[in-house]
Structure 1
Amino acid sequence: MKTITILVVIASYISAGPTNPSGRISYGEVAERGQFPYQVSVQLSLGFTFYPSCGGSILSPEYILTAAHCFPIPGAASYQVLAGITNVYDVNVGEQRRNVLNYVIHELYQSGFVLASPHDIAVVQLTDPLIYTDTIKPIALPPVNAEFTGIATLSGWGETETGRESSILLYAEIPLIDVTECNNALVKLMDPRANNPFDSQTNICTFSTTYQSSCTGDSGGPLALNGTLIGIVSWGMGNCGDKIYSPSVYVKVSKYIDWIQQHSDL
C-alpha cells in the first residue's frame, strides 16, 4: 500500500513518515517572472541560513496564507518569507524578504509528520509589510463555502524528479475532481489499518491523466482558479506523478474564510 506524503521539505530532508521519494510539480512548466505575483516562498532557518521549505499566498501586505504543517519548528524567528521571485536561490531584482512576526495554526489541526490532518491551514503575519509591485500582489479569496469545478493552476518550488529542489518556480494546469471520487481513490491506496485523514467537507482534490501533481516542497502553496485562491497544497499519496490514480489533496479555502479574516487584517 502507498503511504501518505506530507508535502514539506526541510533542506534535503522530507518531513513525513516512511514515504517514497517525491518529484516536482510533475511535468510542470517554468513560470515567467510576475506570472504568479501572489506566490511566496516560506523559508526555514537551519543554523545560520534560511532554506525554502514551503509555498504560500499573499493575502495583504502583512499577511500570508500557507499550510499548518509548514511549521515543524516552534517560533516565528525560525521562518522568513521571500516574495517577488521566480528563482529561490539567485538574487532577484525586486525580491522582498520579510521576517515572520507571528503565525497562527488552525486550532483543529493535529500536528505531526506521520499522518496528514484536516484543517491544514495557517496565517502568517510579517514583521514589515510587503510593498506591492508588478511581481508582488495579493490573491483574491473565494466566497464563503463556494464550490468550484474546472481546471485549476498549481504553482510551487517542489523537488524535481532527481530528488533535488526546483530552484525555478513551476506551474501546472490540473483538473479538479469530485471529492467522493477522490476519497475512493485514496482509500484504495491506503493501508486499511490507517485512519483516513481526507475530509470531504474541508478538502478538495486534483488529478491529471498526464501525471501532473503537487509534490514535496510545494506544501502551503496556491491552487488558483480564475485569479481566486481555492486550495492550499496539503498532502498526497506515494510518489508524485504516479501513473496510478493518486489524487493531490488541498485545503478547501472557501471553508475557512471567517477563520482567515479573524486572524488577519482582511
Structure 2
Amino acid sequence: MRATRLLRPLIVAVAIAFLPAALPAAADSAPPPAKAAIPTDQLRPDSGVSPRVVNGQRTTVKENPSLITGLRVGGGGPQGASCTASVVGRNKILTAAHCMIDATGAKSYLYGDDDLNTTGDESFRTKLASYKVHPQYTGTNSWRTGYDVAVVTTEDDIPVPSSQWAKVAGSGDSALTEPGKSGMAVGWGKVSAGGSSGVLYKTTMPVNDAANCQVFDIKVNPELMVCVGYSDGRTGTCSGDSGGPFTVDGVVVGVVSWGAGNCDRYSIMARLTNSMGDWAKKEIGNVDPGDGKFSVSLNPAAGQVAPGKYVSTTLTSKAGEAGAEKVELSATGLPTGTTATFQPTSIQSGDTSKVTFETSTQTPKGKHTITVEAKGTSGTKTATYTLTVDDGTSPEGPKPVLANDSATVSAGGIVQTKISVTGGQGSSKLTATGLTMSPMFFPQTVAPGGSSQMTAFAPMTAGVYKITVTATDEAGKTGSSTYTLTVR
C-alpha cells in the first residue's frame, strides 16, 4: 500500500515520471486520496519520497515550434522558468490561468531553448503586455473548480511563422477528448517531484473516463477537465509543466492544470473541447495566415560614424505565407555625400544582406533617418536606420540608461532589465560589477541608440546589492549607472 503523500501547489512544465511496479495492496485497503496540486515551479517532495525514474523522451523546440517558456521574477526553475505555454498568434500565447493568477512576480517569455540550464541559447525574449483569464476563473486556487485557461499578449511579435502556431480546439472538437484517445504532453518541468527541471521532454498518455480518475481530494469535473495518464503516474506532468499543451491529432485539446503533488497519479488538463476553447479562440482573435507578404528588419537599427567613414548593418528578411520570393533592395533619405551599398542587392525573402552606409567629409553632422526599401512580387516593405554622423570630438562618453534601476527578489532568483546606450563613439561594450556572479547581457555590444537586456542572478544571502553597469565605447570612454538589487 502506498504511503500517504502530502501535495503542495506549484506552477509550470511537462516532466515524465515513471513508477516501478508497486507491491500488491491488501485486499481490504486502497490508496488514500491524493491531495490535488497545481504543478508549479515550487513543487517540493514530502520527506521520505524517493525520486522516480523519468519515462519521457527528450525533444526539441525545433520538433515542437509552437512551444515557449514562461518566466517570472522569483521563479523556481532555471532562469526563473515557471510555466510552459503555446504560441497561438503573432503575439499571442495560450497557457493556464493559474500561471497568471496564482504565480507572483513580473512575467516574460523565452523562445528557442531546449535546455534552460544553460543561458544564451534562446533566440527570442519578450515581456508580457497583458493577459486575460477565463471569466469564471475567479481567483487564486480556482483551478480546483476548473476554467484554468488564459490568453497572453506579448510586447513583441514572436518569431514563429503562422503555419507553426498551435491549433486550438473548440466545442466542435469534443471527439478528440473521448476516452481511448491518445495525446502528447510537452514541457520543461521536473522529471519527478524531487528531480531536476529545465530540459524539454515529451510523453504520450491516454485519455481516460473521468469516473476512473476520482483518486484525488477534489473532483475531476469531466465538463471542464480532461483526465489523462495513469493511476500510478508512470508517466505524466510535473512541476514546471503548468500551462503546457496536451495535443491530440495535432490539436491542443487541453492545457496542463493540476495533478498529484508528488507527480504519481493522473494528470489533469483544462478542457478546450467545449466553450472554454471557444472563449480562448475568441480572445486569440483572427489567426488566419497574413497577406503572404514578407517582412524585413535591420540589426542594429542605428549606428554612429565620423564624416568620411562607414558603418554597416544587416538586413534580415522573412518569407511570408506564400513562400520565398525575389526581393530588390534600395535606400532613400541618405544625407548629403552618403551612399548605401547592399551585398547582395537582390535576395530571396528569408535571406540576409549586408548594408554599408559610407559618408563623405561633406556629410552634415547629426542624426539622419534612412529608409531601406525591399520590393518583392507581393509588395514593398521598409525598415528604418538611424545614422548619427559625429567626428568624435565630443568629450562625452557613452551612457547606459536602465529601464528599471531597482528590483526586489527572493534569494537565488533572477531579475532582468532593459538597458539603452546613448552617446559614445561607435559601439559600446556592457559590463557589470557588484555581484559574485556577474550579470549577463544580451547582446553585450550595443550600437549608439541600441539596447540590451541584463540578466542577474540574486545571491543566496539577503541584503541590498549595488550593481554598477558600465558602457565602454570604441574610444575607451566609459559611462555607468547603478542598479539596486534587494534580496529578501
Identify the TM-score tier after normalising by the shorter chain: 0.7 to 0.9
2:224 alignment partner in structure 1: 202
Residues 1:98 and 2:149 are matched in the alignment: no
1:139 alignment partner in structure 2: 166
The whole-number CA distance in structure 2 between the counterparts of 1:30 and 1:54 is: 18
User: For residues 91 and 124 of structure 1, do their structure 2 counterparts lie closer, same or farther at Cα, with a shift above 3 Å needed?
Assistant: same
Give a deviation string over 1:206-257, Cα, whole Å, max 9, x none. Answer: 12377101111110001011211011000012421x3xxx321101112223
The whole-number CA distance in structure 2 between the counterparts of 1:19 and 1:104 is: 37
Residue aligned with 1:82, SS:
strand
AA partner of residue 159 (structure 1): K
Cα distance, 1:143 vs structure 2: 4.1
Aligned equivalent of 1:263, options 279, 283, 299: 283
Residues 1:249 and 2:268 are matched in the alignment: yes
Cα distance, 1:106 vs structure 2: 1.3
1:41 alignment partner in structure 2: 69
The whole-number CA distance in structure 1 between the counterparts of 2:114 and 2:82 is: 15
Aligned equivalent of 1:7, options 19, 22, 39: 39
The whole-number CA distance in structure 1 between the counterparts of 2:171 and 2:155 is: 28
- Structure with more strand by fraction: 2
User: For residues 23 and 199 of structure 1, do their structure 2 counterparts lie closer, same or farther at Cα, with a shift above 3 Å needed?
Assistant: farther
Give a deviation string over 1:54-108, Cα, whole Å, max 9, x none. Answer: 1001111110000011123567xx1011122211232465621111000111121
Cα distance, 1:174 vs structure 2: 0.8
Residue identity (%)? 24
The whole-number CA distance in structure 1 between the counterparts of 2:141 and 2:48 is: 14
AA partner of residue 158 (structure 1): G
Residues 1:239 and 2:271 are matched in the alignment: no
Residue aligned with 1:141, SS:
coil
* Map 1:167-178 → 2, pairs under 5 A: 167-178=198-209
The whole-number CA distance in structure 2 between the counterparts of 1:37 and 1:228 is: 14
AA partner of residue 4 (structure 1): A
User: For residues 94 and 161 of structure 1, do their structure 2 counterparts lie closer, same or farther at Cα, with a shift above 3 Å needed?
Assistant: closer
Higher relative contact order (CA 8 A, sep 6+): 1
C-alpha contact 1:234 1:249 (8 A) present in aligned 2: yes
Q: Which runs of 4+ in 1 moved over 3 A?
A: 18-26, 91-94
Residues 1:219 and 2:242 are matched in the alignment: yes
Cα distance, 1:46 vs structure 2: 2.2
AA partner of residue 254 (structure 1): T
* Map 1:121-160 → 2, pairs under 5 A: 121-132=149-160, 137-147=164-174, 148=176, 149=178, 150-160=181-191
Residue aligned with 1:258, SS:
helix
Residue aligned with 1:177, SS:
coil
AA partner of residue 260 (structure 1): A
AA partner of residue 267 (structure 2): S
Give a deviation string over 1:25-52, Cα, whole Å, max 9, x none. Answer: 95111113411111111111129x9500
Residue aligned with 1:261, SS:
helix
Query: Tell me, which stretches of 5 or more residues in structure 2 are unaligned?
Result: 1-31, 287-488
AA partner of residue 234 (structure 2): Y
Root mean square deviation of aligned Cα: 3.2
Cα distance, 1:14 vs structure 2: 2.8
Residues 1:79 and 2:107 are matched in the alignment: yes
Cα distance, 1:172 vs structure 2: 0.4
Give the TM-score normalised by structure 2: 0.45
Residue aligned with 1:239, SS:
coil
The whole-number CA distance in structure 1 between the counterparts of 2:134 and 2:125 is: 25
Query: Tell me, which stretches of 5 or more residues in structure 1 are unaligned?
Result: 191-195
User: For residues 51 and 139 of structure 1, do their structure 2 counterparts lie closer, same or farther at Cα, with a shift above 3 Å needed?
Assistant: same
More divergent stretch after superposition (18-27 vs 86-95)? 18-27
Q: Which is higher, the Rg of structure 1 or of structure 2?
A: 2
2:432 alignment partner in structure 1: none
User: For residues 21 and 122 of structure 1, do their structure 2 counterparts lie closer, same or farther at Cα, with a shift above 3 Å needed?
Assistant: farther
C-alpha contact 1:23 1:158 (8 A) present in aligned 2: no
AA partner of residue 236 (structure 2): S
C-alpha contact 1:41 1:83 (8 A) present in aligned 2: yes
User: For residues 215 and 101 of structure 1, do their structure 2 counterparts lie closer, same or farther at Cα, with a shift above 3 Å needed?
Assistant: same
Cα distance, 1:114 vs structure 2: 9.2
C-alpha contact 2:168 2:281 (8 A) present in aligned 1: no
